[in-house]
Structure 1
């Protein structure tokens, strides 16, 4: 009589006596369609809190006015930045009058003739796999602007004094400069000249 042998299922109808973490994970996981937009969210030298908020925005999971209205019919769904009756993600980033001023000031020197404030066009544009200083800068400014606009929007909804667009622009500009300065300290040759490039786009 033969002893029982423990076997591990590695795929449908195939059992082996060797355990594979990779194959087990492949069997347990739920597969989704490959998404291109991840390149605009997760990339080297991104700031985690900016990237996470951008990820939520891409999934349309931020508590914007239209979403809050679907939870509670009595909520004020207007945009806190420009008083448009219904605040949506696409409106807030960056079709709103206030947000559009901030966005255009920051990226017109980067995007030049390709300038847009349309959410879907931007997400598609940022899905590129190119790893140039220009692409990194646009991705980083995109995330930093989303983060700062969301904080400003929330601050206003909770009664804080509004920040003028030019002051918010300076805050984001400082964040980008700080990021490039910290990258330079790491000694990344690929990003060498990043701060100089950013200065050139701000003229």
Structure 2
């Protein structure tokens, strides 16, 4: 008798209902570290300052990006002026209304049209990743970037990712690249 690890894993974890936002996070062409961090953010499991205070740690509650409001998941993504500025630029590139309320953004992403879905979800997860990275860089290294520099980093990574699957799927890569540059 042969055992398959995947079957044993499914047996142990049981049957789970798929959450409605799963396609926003888990897609095959995404960047794994972006998907993983976006999943943690979606579940509100990142150690934002509001959570650190709830856990009993005595930390300054102010957002590391704007230094004016208490840091929480909803503030950091994308109520904060810093992250909202970067998100507006990304949303413009993806032809989205630049919403700033977390729940509204997720609903908007769940309702994307097929032709823009891949690119927009790739850009959203990259934005979440690089906003969180900027927050941590400020905390641990005291290095500060502007929203324009963060946007530039995201832009470069999106272009590189689109080029990376040009050989596997040249048609999709070309279509997404054209969409990305349409509003640059």
TM superposition score normalised by structure 1: 0.80
Using a 3 Å threshold, how does the CA distance of structure 1 residues 43 and 131 change in structure 2: closer, same or farther? farther
Q: Decide whether the 8 Å contact of 2:93 with 2:181 is kept in 1.
A: no
Q: CA RMSD in A?
A: 2.4
Any stretches of 5+ residues in structure 1 without a counterpart? 1-17
Q: Which has the larger radius of gyration?
A: 1
- Contact 2:94–2:179 (Cα < 8 Å) also in 1: no
What's the counterpart of residue 97 of structure 1? 81
Q: In structure 1, what is the Cα distance between the partners aligned to 2:171 and 2:138?
A: 41
Q: Structure 2 regions of 5+ residues with no counterpart? A: none
Counterpart in the other structure of 1:180: 162
Shift in Å at residue 194 of structure 1? Answer: 1.4
Rounded to whole Å, the distance in 1 between the matches of 2:83 and 2:9 is 43
- 1:71-124 CA-to-partner distances (Å, cap 9, x unmatched) read 125212210000134211011011100000000012124234x33122111222
Partner of 1:43: 27
SS of the residue aligned with 2:68? coil
**TM-score, normalising length from structure 2?**
0.87
Q: How many residues align?
A: 183
Counterpart secondary structure, 1:81: coil
* Deviates further, 169-178 or 19-28: 19-28
**3-state secondary structure, aligned to 1:44:** coil
SS of aligned partner of 1:49:
helix
Of the three residues 68, 71, 85, the one matched with 1:84 is 68
